[in-house]
Amino acid sequence: MKNYLKNTAILNYKEQKIIDLINASKWKDLDEFDKIGAIYNYVQNKILLGYNKYDNLTATQVLSDGIGQCNTKATLIMALLRAVGVPCRLHGTKVTKVFQRGLMPKIMAKFAPPLIVHTWAEVYYNGVWLSLEGVITDKTYIKGLKKKFPNHKGKFFDYAVAVKDFNNLQIDWIGEDTTIQQQAVVEDLGIFDTPDEFYSKYKQDYRGLKKFIYENFGRKIMSKKVMEIRRYGQDL
């Protein structure tokens, strides 16, 4: 299990910023189930859904941003789990861009690659590996979506959510898999010990003008739309 507890350049949990957070939160005093749950809740709801400039940010950079998407939240939750001695790893995939409808500007969708690199953390608990993908979307954002689509039933495939049953989401830590975007997966890239290893092999297929548009305009528009939907949830 040593490989799943390593401190790395990206999972930089020995940095003072993370040490201070761990100590202030007293997560080390909890049993393993509650350690995972408390850290999961922190990353899910204190680091709000939003689109960072880069996927391969360090854990401390994600903390500083205060927002995260699938890849950056995976990095942060892995760093925090390893900091309290809980083994974890990264699952790499590619997803269709289609489920970002509603958030992704049409001009950006036109130029975006058809497949997007997508990762989630997996935690080792009770002898099995469990997906923590449900950490991506904060609960206030989900409340906003439910208010925006009050009569929707069954499959949902928009607004950064890709699930079989919109009314029965598996996004709370109860010692089982959590998911929120896995229905969009079209290619499995395998399991990796660290994000560092993963990003040495895989990157988003944005180059040149496409990369410039996403980093400077697209992600900001998407984050703004997320904030607008979150306001629906705050009114509930």
- Residue 188's pLDDT is 98
145 — phi, psi (to 5°)?
A: -60, -45
Residue ranges and CATH numbers for the domains of the chain are 2-234 (3.10.620.30)
Between 236 and 132, residue with greater pLDDT? 132
Q: Per residue in 137-192, pLDDT tens?
A: 999 999 999 999 999 999 999 999 999 999 999 999 999 999 999 999 999 999 99
The closest alpha carbon to 137, from 50, 17, 34, belongs to: 50
Per-residue model confidence (pLDDT) at position 23: 97
